[in-house]
Amino acid sequence: MTRIALARRPQGAPVAEDFAFDHMDLPDPAPGEVLVEVSHLSLDPYMRGRMNDVKSYAPSVGIGETMTGEGVGRVVATNDPRFSVGDLVVGVTGWATHACLSGSALRKLDDSLPPSTALGVLGMPGFTAWASLNAYGRPKAGQTLVVAAATGPVGSMVGQLAKAAGMRTVAIAGGAEKCRIATETFGFDAAIDHRAFDTASALHTAIAEAAPDGIDIYFENVAGMVLEAVIPLLNTFARIPVIGTIAWYNELEDSADRLPMLWRSVLVKRLSINGFIVYDHWDKFDTFLAEVGPKVAAGEIAYLEDVVQGIDKMPAAFAALLEGGNTGKLVVEL
């Protein structure tokens, strides 16, 4: 069998020397294991992250270890009674021609669709689109969605699901041919070639024309210049599922720009960040008073007031407030 191992950690974009090809004898499956001859291997953007030695939601690939990834193949030997020779399966085979895996780590496929669909449209990327759009995008008919990497397995699924939910869908894709595919094959209402623009403001103008009512879902697949271009177009109560930041995957960790670090934290730590304006919640004011008022009256909730005497002191007291000059709620007593 042949496998591809990580030879060293890439500096920026991966190059051939970062990988090593190994040839070895086929392993015999231990009890509970299955030997798979791989027919299709998946290549996905997340693999770039696994090549770095940083703490993340999944462990990095060690130097000398097989590069991680999913594959589809046929069972050629089995020591798990749930599988027979010839079964078509999908699992984390790694970058290799064969993999010996626990039967519990494999999913059987039927032969009704091309095997490779288990790696894309009906595999991890398709499911990523479906799950994140439903959980965090919350599509609404009549609203507008923008997604980049729009002809890839995630973006194309996002576009089609959003369109089916009645949204206007705007694709960002690299090159005229991908833009044509976005509208003709995946049904996007408009497609913009981000590679035709040198600056975020020029890209912004093009997206603004394609999304005249603003953006309600920006499905974040790429970050970088696309993110910069869409920010001013976001509508109030817009949603941003942060799924991928591929524009920054090859950047070095010590970049002076802190935005990639923030966006990566949002993604990896699944942070919830919500804008809040108190007036949106005013209908709950009576509930607040009923719950907290008695506790204030009983001394169970403390409060502090900083009382300034006289209306003439107001300008100076206000200036001091902005500098930390007050201690507690600043009130002017007339």
Interface positions with ligand NDP (CB under 6 A): 44-46, 125, 128, 148-149, 151-155, 173-174, 178, 194, 221-222, 224, 226, 243-244, 246-247
**Identity of the residue, 85 or 196, whose beta carbon is nearer to ligand NDP in the bound complex:** 196
- The minimum distance between CB 235 and ligand NDP, in angstroms, equals 22
**Identity of the residue, 94 or 244, whose beta carbon is nearer to ligand NDP in the bound complex:** 244
- The minimum distance between CB 76 and ligand NDP, in angstroms, equals 29
Rounded CA separation 185/151 (Å)? 9
**Identity of the residue, 139 or 155, whose beta carbon is nearer to ligand NDP in the bound complex:** 155
The number of beta carbons lying within 10 Å of the beta carbon of residue 226 is: 25
- The minimum distance between CB 171 and ligand NDP, in angstroms, equals 8
Instruction: Select from 194, 202, 190 the least CA-distant residue to 223.
Output: 194
Name the packing angle between helices 153-164 and 124-132 (round to 10°): 40
- The minimum distance between CB 91 and ligand NDP, in angstroms, equals 17
**Identity of the residue, 5 or 227, whose beta carbon is nearer to ligand NDP in the bound complex:** 227
**Identity of the residue, 96 or 171, whose beta carbon is nearer to ligand NDP in the bound complex:** 171
Contacts of 82 (CB under 8 A, 6+ apart): 103
**Identity of the residue, 246 or 332, whose beta carbon is nearer to ligand NDP in the bound complex:** 246
The number of beta carbons lying within 10 Å of the beta carbon of residue 5 is: 18
Helices (H), 84-199: 124-132, 153-164, 176-184
Helices (H), 29-174: 46-50, 124-132, 153-164
- The minimum distance between CB 118 and ligand NDP, in angstroms, equals 14
Taken in order 70, 71, 72, 74, the sign of the CA dihedral is negative
Q: How many residues does the chain have?
A: 334
- The minimum distance between CB 142 and ligand NDP, in angstroms, equals 26
Class of residue 188 by CB neighbours under 10 A (exposed 0-12, middle 13-18, buried 19+)? buried
Residue nearest to ligand NDP (CB): 152
**Identity of the residue, 144 or 221, whose beta carbon is nearer to ligand NDP in the bound complex:** 221
**Identity of the residue, 35 or 182, whose beta carbon is nearer to ligand NDP in the bound complex:** 182
- The minimum distance between CB 78 and ligand NDP, in angstroms, equals 30
Contacts of 119 (CB under 8 A, 6+ apart): 40, 41, 42, 70, 71, 72, 90, 125
**CA 32 from chain center: how many Å?**
35
- The minimum distance between CB 151 and ligand NDP, in angstroms, equals 6
Rounded CA separation 308/320 (Å)? 11
